[in-house]
Structure 1
Amino acid sequence: MAIQGRAVRTRDALVRAAAAEFDEAGYEGARLSRISELADVSMGALTFHFPAKAALADAVQEEGLAITKALVERLSKGCAPGLDAVIALSVGLVRLLEEDPVVRSSVRLAGERPGGAGRWVDIWLPAVRDHLWPQCEGARSAGIEEVRQAVTDMVVYLLTGAASQVRAGLGVSAGASRSAGERLERIWRLVVAGVVAGVVVEQA
């Protein structure tokens, strides 16, 4: 049992170290020797758990997606559908990107390895749609559905842009005190009145 526990800890350390290396250097630039050093694990132990760099990248992506899924489920639990739920979810996802190198790394790897373990957007986009589309049940106005689809598209663009900002180190711009999450909240405050107004106009 002790040996099994040590193996789990070693694997976890390697995944965390690999995430840090992929986050900084990307898939092609990442070095197994550096990951071994960061995890304080021998190369032999590394290759025992992960025989190739691709296996390590898959593990990082899977872990990042699992962390994201857990956040989406937590933020969506008991939350009434609507724009407020979408805002809370999008801000939470951006903060997760800022705070968790495994999630950041999984997003980067998904872009650099199209055939890898999965895409970040596929984890949270269904929840965004679920929060918005139920309000359209029974609605006959194509305009209302167009507004909701536009909001969905906007969330994708906002989160893609926020991910790029975090990746470029622009989560806090020069001379600014706001994090990327705070900046996204500010953007939402500026656009939400227009979104609500659009729905009202279409219903009129």
Structure 2
Amino acid sequence: MAEQERAVRTRERLIGSAAETFCREGFAVASLFVISAQAGVGSGALHFHFAGKAALADAVESAALDRLRIIAGVASREGAGRLQCLVDVTHGLALGLRGDVVLRAGFGLGRDTARVTPGGLREHWRCCVEEAVAEAGKARELRPGVAPENAVTAVVAATAGFEALGSREEVWLMPRTIARFWELLPALAAGDRLAALEPEGSSGD
């Protein structure tokens, strides 16, 4: 059992080290030697867990997806309006991107020209937004005349921009920046829902 736990910890260290290296250097330049040394393990241990750099990048993206699912699950709490949940999950995503190198690397790998793979975090994020907007439409939370696909396009494009810009300047991921985007809610939300929405995100208390 102790050996199994050690193997799990080694794998997690390698994923964390790879995430830091991919964020810092990009997929193409990242060195397996640097990743293993930074994790404090030998190259043999790295290759025991991962066949190569592509497999390691897959593991980083998978771990990042797990984090994104947790963020979406926390924001989608019972009893909250669907638009407010969408506001909250964008704030949660920005917070995660500021503080979690694995989440940041997962998104970064998705736009790395040396490693473009179908699906991934962006596809999952788009699906999350589509689901939230569809539910908001069913609950009559959208302003009359707003096409759900237009709302999805706006939210996905904005958050993708915040993520890309935030990889260089953290101000793009700060709560006030996300709130400024959601202050455009009058163009999206039905009038009787607008007053209850909090662009800064709700605490859930």
> TM-score with structure 2 length normalisation?
0.82
User: 2: distance between equivalents of 1:23 and 1:138?
Assistant: 40
User: 2: distance between equivalents of 1:135 and 1:184?
Assistant: 20
- Rate the CA distance shift 1:127–1:75 in 2: closer, same or farther, 3 A: same
**Structure 1 residue 145 displacement after superposition:** 4.9
Gaps of 5+ in 2: 192-205
Structure in which a larger fraction of residues adopt helix: 1
**Structure 1 residue 136 displacement after superposition:** 3.4
Match of 1:125 in 2: 126
**SS of alignment partner, residue 80 of structure 1:** coil
Match of 1:171 in 2: 170
Is contact 2:83–2:136 with CA below 8 Å preserved after alignment?
A: no
Larger Rg belongs to = 1
Match of 1:194 in 2: 187
The answer to whether 1:17 aligns with 2:10 is: no
**Structure 1 residue 137 displacement after superposition:** 4.0
> TM-score with structure 1 length normalisation?
0.82
The answer to whether 1:161 aligns with 2:161 is: yes
Match of 1:62 in 2: 62
User: 2: distance between equivalents of 1:131 and 1:2?
Assistant: 43
Tell me the percent identity. 30
User: 1: distance between equivalents of 2:97 and 2:16?
Assistant: 15
**Structure 1 residue 110 displacement after superposition:** 1.7
Match of 1:182 in 2: 176
Is contact 1:14–1:36 with CA below 8 Å preserved after alignment?
A: yes
Is contact 2:75–2:89 with CA below 8 Å preserved after alignment?
A: yes
Match of 1:176 in 2: none
**SS of alignment partner, residue 28 of structure 1:** coil
Match of 1:115 in 2: 117
**SS of alignment partner, residue 170 of structure 2:** coil
**Structure 1 residue 135 displacement after superposition:** 4.3
- Rate the CA distance shift 1:29–1:181 in 2: closer, same or farther, 3 A: farther
Report Cα offsets for 1:55-100 as digits up to 9, x if no partner: 1111001000111111111211315343222111111111111111
- Rate the CA distance shift 1:52–1:135 in 2: closer, same or farther, 3 A: closer
**SS of alignment partner, residue 78 of structure 2:** coil
- Rate the CA distance shift 1:131–1:79 in 2: closer, same or farther, 3 A: farther
User: 2: distance between equivalents of 1:34 and 1:70?
Assistant: 30
User: 1: distance between equivalents of 2:82 and 2:75?
Assistant: 13
Report Cα offsets for 1:148-177 as digits up to 9, x if no partner: 322211111111111111112x1238xxxx
User: 2: distance between equivalents of 1:138 and 1:43?
Assistant: 54
> How many residues are aligned here?
186
